[in-house]
Amino acid sequence: MLKRNSRFISILLVFILLFSWPLAAWATEADNPELLQEVSRLIAKYFIRPVDESILTKTTIKDMVDSLNDPYTAYYTQEEYKSFRDSTEGVFGGVGIRVEQIGDYVVVVAPLKGTPAQKAGLVSGDKVLAVDGENVVGKGLEYVVSKIKGQAGTRVVLTVEREEQPGLLEFTLIRENIQIEVIEYDMLDENLGYIRLNTFSRTAGKEFRKALTDLKAQGMEGLIFDLRDNPGGYLNSALDIAADFADKGETLLYVIGRDGLKDETQSLSDALNIPTVVLVNGGSASASEIVAGAIQDLGKGVLVGTKTFGKASVQTVFELSNGGALKLTTAKYLTPGEQVINGIGLTPDYIVEDIEAQLDKALSILKEQLDITSPQAIVLNINSPVAIVGAKEVALDTKPLLQNGRLLVPGRFLAQALEGQITWDKGTQTVTILSGGRTITLVPDENRGLVDGAELKLEVPARLVAGRIYVPLRLVCETFKAEVYFNQASGQVQILP
């Protein structure tokens, strides 16, 4: 529950969506004098900064909106408004990216999961330079969006510039009708829950609590909350979810309007009080930053990943008398600790670049907080000839090897650590590891082996180096039911028998 000063019809922190609807029908409806006055009054009263009278007396809505020089303010006809609502609820046609305008460039905020844009490889931060060969640098956001959107099944070619990559990239996309899955969740090992929120739809808060209820019923003791590549949505939904993590009376957000005064939103309910790690990246924006920022500032969890996008303006959608709507920038926001996010983003507590390593780090943090460690937990580092078994340091004959992205570890040490046996047959030049009634037989430098007598193709072979045998870590651990967590950034490996 929330306590706040409620002044607006509905508030959004969303980026323009690339979905399939026609350009604004400024004529006819926009020339209606009563509608002009209605829009003018709303702009005069609610826009983020005072507006000159010369703008408020423009003779068309298009001129009035364009003169504000704000990429997030837009007028929607009745048909466009319906499409806009559909897009924020998770159903729209197009290529599946959300964008914003920064200077002369239209920039990708995030590709949506499973869409043509994500499959093609577009990423947060890509600058759109051309659409179907037409240079769009310096063109307005709505114009560029109108060139990209279109009917499902049609083709569009985007030319983009990517930071720290030489030359330009070209992507050929086939537009689709896209269904966004708002939320996904599952129970991981050791009673750790995982929730991924893809968009802050109107129903996101309700769906989030349903996921929490289901996971707690399964015994969840810690939570990984994945907000990577979630570009935003409804402010109300963001605050609804943030309140689940805050204690009663704690501040969730400060909203600063045109008068410079801070409106404070507080939680009216008790906190979830469960160890939490939030995953974020450069595609986590706006509403995602509100939730992540509140959790971080209030000390209700830690952030893992990379710096977030950095958007901190609030858009309010005012429904108009003709069935259309005016989306207007009305405020900016600060986190509970009054962090300035706009153009900066949130810095994670743990900066982890590698995508898989981000989840591994989150699991490691929660396991440590919950003391989910075996007395014989094994910790290795690819840069060290020393291992830790339980609380004891053990010297290795040599350091682990990293080959083609896969880890090979000294076979004798690993077999003993897993309470198994290892033998070397000089005649057949094979190594055999036995543990818990299961058997692995490997031939050095051959991409094949036997597991319980069944032949298996290996991603990386065993190695015989200076008389010492190295075996594939993941194969051995998976066969003997041990968990493996590898942080590529730090080189640390944790094995839980």
Catalytic site positions: 286, 297, 311
Residue 36, phi then psi, degrees to nearest 5 = -60, -45
∠ CA(20), CA(24), CA(25), 5° rounding? 120
Burial of 214 (0-12, 13-18, 19+ CB in 10 A): middle
d(CA 246, CA 273): 8
- Please choose, from the candidates 494, 491, 497, 2, the residue with its C-alpha nearest in 3D space to the C-alpha of residue 239: 2
407: part of which helix (H) or strand (E)? strand 406-410
How many helices (H) and strands (E) are present in the chain, helices listed first?
Answer: 12, 37
- Three-class SS of residue 68? coil
Residue 24 DSSP one-character state: P
- Asked if residue 62 lies in contact with residue 83, where contact means CB atoms within 8 angstroms, the answer is no
Q: Are strands 421-425 and 386-389 parallel, antiparallel or unpaired?
A: unpaired
273-307 in b/e form (b: 16+ CB < 10 A) is ebbbbbbbbbbbbbbbbbbbbbbbbbebbbbbbbb
Residue 56, phi then psi, degrees to nearest 5 = -70, -15
- Three-class SS of residue 307? coil
Q: Which amino acid is at 53?
A: E
DSSP codes joined into one string, 428-486:
TTEEEEEETTEEEEE-TT-SEEEETTEEEE-SS--EEETTEEEEEHHHHHHHTT-EEEE
DSSP codes joined into one string, 75-99:
EE-HHHHHHHHHHHTTEEEES-EEE
CB-based contacts of 47-56 (< 8 A; 24+ apart in sequence): 47/73, 47/258, 47/328, 47/329, 47/330, 48/257, 48/258, 48/313, 48/329, 48/330, 48/331, 48/332, 49/258, 50/258
End-to-end CA distance of the chain: 43
| Residue partners of 227: CB distance under 8 A and separation at least 6 | 197, 278, 279, 280, 284, 288, 291, 292
